[in-house]
Amino acid sequence: QQQQQQQNQQPFQYQEQYQNYQYYEQQYQNQYDYEGRVAYFTEDVNLNQQYAYQQIYYPAWFNSQKYGQKTQYQNGEAFYYYLQQVLARYNLERYANNLPTVQPFQFYQNIQPGYNPQLQYHNGHAVPARPNNVDYKNANAFYYQQ
């Protein structure tokens, strides 16, 4: 009977289902790349997922008068609050890593820090990286009204 019970008792096995999260600091950081110190924040999968959820839950195109939904009247306020909190946390992480706070975007200055997400599209092609000191006014992909 003991042998039969031992055969019936299978060891507990679980399958690990998780997002493969890599520690990005070692990949990005060199002595000239100070932005790599906060790559753990900018490459956070859960933060990106929260942002996508925010976009779904508070869609910018939603018209409460047209669809008769009264709960969506504060979409802009909730979105602004969310971005304000993320920026505050990002500045805190930068401060903790001896980096200056984020400067406001200037339309007539080059974008200094480059960014390499090391991601790929569903077809296997790599997402293009942004090199340092990009003059976005000369890039073909950017159109803006002055």
Write out pLDDT tens, residues 85-125. 999 999 999 999 999 999 888 878 887 777 777 777 888 88
Q: What is the pLDDT, as a whole number, of residue 21?
A: 42
- 48's CB contacts (< 8 A; 6+ apart) are none
Rounded Cα distance between 82 and 23, Å, is 25
Predicted pLDDT at 84: 94
Q: Which fold has domain 22-138?
A: di-copper center containing domain from catechol oxidase (1.10.1280)
Write out residues in the chain with pLDDT < 50, as ranges: 10-26, 28, 142-146
- Give me Rg for the CA atoms of the chain: 23
Q: Model pTM greater than 0.75?
A: no
At residue 20, the pLDDT reads 42
